Chains A and B, each alone.
Chain A
Amino acid sequence: MKIINCPINGPRPVSEFFYWGQMRVMPDPVASSDDEWADYVFNCNGAPGVKREWWCHTPSNTWFIIERDTEKDQIVRTYLYGEEE
């Protein structure tokens, strides 16, 4: 993986991008139990597979989502948050 397709700026070299981890959905902090909250704070899906991740194109500060195969290091698709369809 050397080129990433930024949804705003098009294909750019990977050195311009910053990885910010897997996309996670926050549970309701009031309604969730202590165990559910600890699970959200610490645990993650560490096994390989196609994952949705937050990335940032740093020169333009564009935050977006990459769907990436973390075993083969291949990008499935990239899109802005909320615009996946």
Chain B
Amino acid sequence: MPWRLLRFVTSGKHPEPQMFTHHDGLKKVYDAVIIGAGGHGLAAAYYLARDHGMTNVCVLEKGYIGGGNTGRNTTIIRSNYITPEGVQFYDTSVKLWQDLSQDFDLNLFYATRGHYTLAHTDAALRTMRWRAEVNKHCGVESEVVGPEELRREIPMMDMSCGGHAPIIGALYHAPGAIARHDAVAWGYGRGADQRGVQIHQQTEVLGIEVTAGRVSGVRTSRGFIATSKVLCAVAGSTPRILDMIGVRSPIYIHPLQAMVSEPMKPWLDPILVSGSLHVYISQSARGELVLGASLDPYELHSTRSTLDFTEGLAAHMLELFPFLSHVKIVRQWAGMADMTPDFAPIMGKTPIEGFYLDAGWGTWGFKATPVSGKTMAHTMVTDTPHPLITGFSLDRFRNYALTGEKGAASVGH
């Protein structure tokens, strides 16, 4: 054993590097309060501090950093949406993603893999042509490919899917990527923390004070905070927060489950999605297959898992890859998805002055983490919605001006 190591062991001093500053208590006043220390909330804090110089900010988290949907998604990043608003928004996000590891000095394991959305029916193929054209118009790389290319790129896939749902084509999206989701929250959190933002975990919001239509403070489990700006970025808990200020919304909560297999040698490079079979699948850097499916069929505010889900998803995965029949499932979990009627998020201002909403992220929130943080920070500082998010305002449900993204949802929910 080297002497230095022996001295270190016997010294009794083993300082561990701390990623986040510990704060003893809350301050009485903050310029802005962000509810939710997930990717979106921390990204907003990061860009508020870095781009707008606003550092007297605190992020309140009921649980722990990145413990909600940031740590529960299947980490897929893409921008092949169907509305021009959606495509431009998510494309900006993909571009931000590509520099993020450099920005943070933290390896996010960002891997551009390419993304295939499989078509088993003519109707599905028609929607994909539409998406490909909208994408190309907005400068995003997407194209419809035939069975020959799929056979060449993914040779181990059963193109007939057991005979009952043959694959007739796919939408190929070259920038499709995956990243390590926990590190995204840590990177944004550390970046915000280093610039003076306070992150308070285990601090629950109990109420929001509104005076004459304006936000004046936040009541928490650790005391009252006075502030004039609040950002709500709490995904599946959004309706509970909106109830506190009496704002109605179309958000409804269904659980979304996912699971991973045991690790194996790399064999699947691209990300695969099949809307008809309700399955999406990618292989992580660790070799695990990350598998997701559609929403649970009824409203529930819980993250419980079910055997029905595992059986259904495994059966669909075996239709695509029969040779996986001996592979074990090692983990299964769920997140609470805040769904909207048009499958687009709800971002921007609300009827309460100073209360900003970053919600309705349903099953599509992880990929939008950088751009939502950036646009919400801009919206909070200028009190005007960022041009990229004007199509996602809460008002659209009063004006019947929906932003229909259901055709670009990864699976038919």
Contact = CB atoms under 8 A, between A and B. Distances in A.
B397 A38 contact: yes
B298 A19 contact: yes
Given A44-B252, A46-B239, A47-B240, A19 B297 contact: yes
A38 B85 CA distance: 23
A46 B253 contact: yes
Interface of A is mostly: mixed
Given A19-B297, A73-B304, A46 B397 contact: no
A44 B250 CA distance: 5
A46 B302 contact: no
Contacts of B253: 46, 48, 70
Contacts of A51: 299
A75 to B, nearest CB: 11
Interface string A35-49: 100110011111110
A85 interface: no
Nearest to A22: B299
A21 B298 CA distance: 8
Contacts, number: 56
B249 A43 contact: yes
A15 B308 contact: yes
B250 A47 contact: no
Nearest to B247: A43
A51 B300 CA distance: 11
A46 B251 contact: yes
Contacts of A73: 300, 302, 304
B240 A39 contact: no
A46 B252 contact: yes
Interface string B374-407: 0000000000000000000000011110000000
Contacts of B398: 34-35, 38-39
B243 interface: yes
B301 interface: yes
A70 B341 contact: no
B400 A38 contact: yes
Interface of A: 15, 18-19, 21-22, 34-35, 38-39, 42-48, 51, 53, 70-73
21 contacts: A15-B308, A18-B297, A19-B297, A22-B299, A34-B398, A38-B399, A39-B248, A39-B398, A42-B341, A43-B249, A43-B250, A44-B250, A46-B239, A46-B250, A46-B251, A47-B242, A47-B243, A48-B301, A51-B299, A70-B253, A71-B301
